Amino acid sequence: MDKRFAAVRGMHDVLPADMPLWHWLEACTRRVMGAYGYAEIRTPIVEKTALFARSIGAVTDIVEKEMYAFEDRSGEHLALRPENTAGCVRAGLQHGLLHNQIQRIWYSGPMFRHEKPQQGRYRQFYQIGAEVFGLDNPGVEAELILLAARLWRELGINHLVSLQLNTLGTLAERQVYRTQLINYLEQHRHALDADSQRRLTRNPLRVLDSKNPNTQQIVAAAPKLIDCLSTASREHFERVQYLLSENQLAFSINDQLVRGLDYYSHTVFEWLTDHLGAQSAVCGGGRYDDLVEQLGGRATPAAGWALGMERLLELLKLGTSTPPAQGIDLYIACLDAEAEAYCSRLAEQLRTAAPACSIVLHQGPGGLKQQLRRADRLGVRWTVIVGESELASQQLVLKPMRAQGEQRTLSALEIGALLSTGLP
């Protein structure tokens, strides 16, 4: 092809051959979300840039370096959504879903971040997310985490991921800690990496999860946020851990886990894997009790998470479950131009009789051998062959391809009945 028209760097196609795995993930998600009483929401891919700057935080990588922000033809400052928590809060506020109400919602869809593309890191990627509004008890974080854990189990990947937890306390507690941390980091400023030096005064908590080994060494001896937390905040975090333990869910505490978005308070968590190289974060989230108010609503507690679908799909390939077989059930081979109209009617009749089956009608010229080869390439399970003699006798040959069973000669009605009860 002409390279000038190639896909945008970091944005990928999901081809038909990849779809069974995507559908499986989507179907499991829909089922598990339903099992916990979460309702789906769909919000626009484009929102006002200010929404993301205000919610994710002006001094974050996402807002500073990664947003697809632009001015539209009427001069509005818009951005492709880098995540969807902000969009959910915006939609909740705009439609009066949040005040004095409890909402459990979920979404899936594309997000956009102008990061350096590499394996498992894209500029357009898909997330599935869950958000809960209106509940401030630690049971909510436990519920959200258990929901994700159930998804991992259903998908056969629970042995490939591990859960890390931390608490960030309240805004006021973080402010006290912030001062302590800045004082400490200032003493080691010269030894910090350039990014951390830049963040030191603007967003010092982000220094805590720097990947730079020198910075990590300094951070290891830094004051701990947990020491600035009130009894209530500690108890909240302990209760989350207690509820997870009561459900036999394993986790570890990582006191350097601060997440890349600024809206969190209290519990934060991440599911990590060792199986995807550098991109180890599969799912992340936490409580964000201040965000609704920051976006102009009344104070409303909230919590949620989002998972990266591409990363999860890579894990599915290593997991213990396989997606249910998809594919074409029946191929109608048409050997005679005279039979074309009959075959077309037959295909419609069979689709009516067996709506759950997938039926492909041969189109265009081709002898029996060629048609069977085409059917084989599609991975069909059965073929019906219609030629001159079948047309005359109205008795059709049903031939197993990938399916187990004998070749049979049947009427169209009989084939419809067989298909509707599920051919082997």
Specify whether the CB–CB gap between 98 and 65 falls below 8 A: no
Round to whole Å and give the CA distance between 259 and 112.
18
Contact between 333 and 386 under an 8 Å Cβ cutoff? The reply is yes
The stretch among 20-28, 120-128, 365-373, 399-407 that binds ligand HAM (CB under 6 A) is 120-128
C-alpha 28/C-alpha 12 separation (Å) is: 23
Q: Which residues contact 357 (CB under 8 A, 6 or more apart)?
A: 329, 330, 350, 351, 419, 420
Q: How far is the CB of 286 from ligand HAM (least distance, A)?
A: 6
Q: Candidates 36-44, 70-78, 119-127, 173-181 — which segment interacts with ligand HAM by CB under 6 A? A: 119-127
Smallest gap from residue 37 Cβ to ligand HAM (A) = 17
Stretch that binds ligand HAM, among 173-181, 280-288, 376-384, 392-400 (CB under 6 A): 280-288
**Token pair for residue 138?**
């630690």
| 74-93 positions binding ligand HAM, by CB under 6 A | 83, 85
From 38-46, 204-212, 283-291, 394-402, span contacting ligand HAM (CB under 6 A): 283-291
Q: Which stretch binds ligand HAM (CB under 6 A): 188-196, 219-227, 235-243, 277-285?
A: 277-285
Asked whether position 143 contacts ligand HAM by CB under 6 A, the answer is no
Q: Looking at beta carbons only, is 148 or 398 nearer to ligand HAM?
A: 148
- By CB under 6 A, residue 418 contacts ligand HAM: no
Chosen residue from 89, 155, 282, 346 binding ligand HAM by CB under 6 A: 282
Nearer to ligand HAM, 131 or 390 (CB): 131
Taking CB positions, which residue lies at the least distance from ligand HAM? 308
CA 415 to chain centre: 40
Q: What is the dihedral of CA 400, 411, 332, 14, to 10 degrees?
A: -70
289 binds ligand HAM (CB under 6 A): no
206 binds ligand HAM (CB under 6 A): no
Are 57 and 203 a contacting pair, CB within 8 Å?
yes
In angstroms, give the least distance from the CB of 122 to ligand HAM.
Answer: 4
Shortest reach from residue 396's CB to ligand HAM, in Å: 49
- Of residues 130 and 229, the one with the C-beta less far from ligand HAM: 130
Is-contact 295 121, C-beta < 8 A? no
Residue whose CB is less far from ligand HAM, 301 or 416 = 301
Q: Does 138 bind ligand HAM (CB under 6 A)?
A: no
Minimum distance from residue 33 beta carbon to ligand HAM (Å): 14
Site string for ligand HAM, 310-329 (x = CB under 6 A): xx------------------
Considering only 308, 381, 385, 386, the residue that binds ligand HAM (CB under 6 A) is: 308
The mark string for 211-250 relative to ligand HAM (x by CB under 6 A, - otherwise) is: ----------------------------------------
Select from 100-108, 126-134, 332-340, 363-371 the region that touches ligand HAM (CB under 6 A).
126-134
Q: Using the rule CB under 6 A, is 132 a contact of ligand HAM?
A: no
CB-CB contact of 273 with 120 (8 Å): no
**Cα–Cα dist 32/104, whole Å:** 13
**How long, in residues, is the chain?**
424
Phi first, then psi, for residue 74 (nearest 5°) are: -100, 15
The reply to whether 371 sits near ligand HAM by the rule CB under 6 A is no
CB nearer to ligand HAM: give 118 or 217: 118
Contacts with ligand HAM: how many residues (CB under 6 A)? 26
Q: Judging by beta carbons within 10 Å of its beta carbon (0-12, 13-18, 19+), is residue 217 exposed, middle or buried?
A: exposed
304 binds ligand HAM (CB under 6 A): yes
Q: Does 105 bind ligand HAM (CB under 6 A)?
A: no
Residues that bind ligand HAM (CB under 6 A): 83, 85, 113, 115, 121-122, 125, 127, 129, 131, 260-261, 281-286, 288, 304-308, 310-311
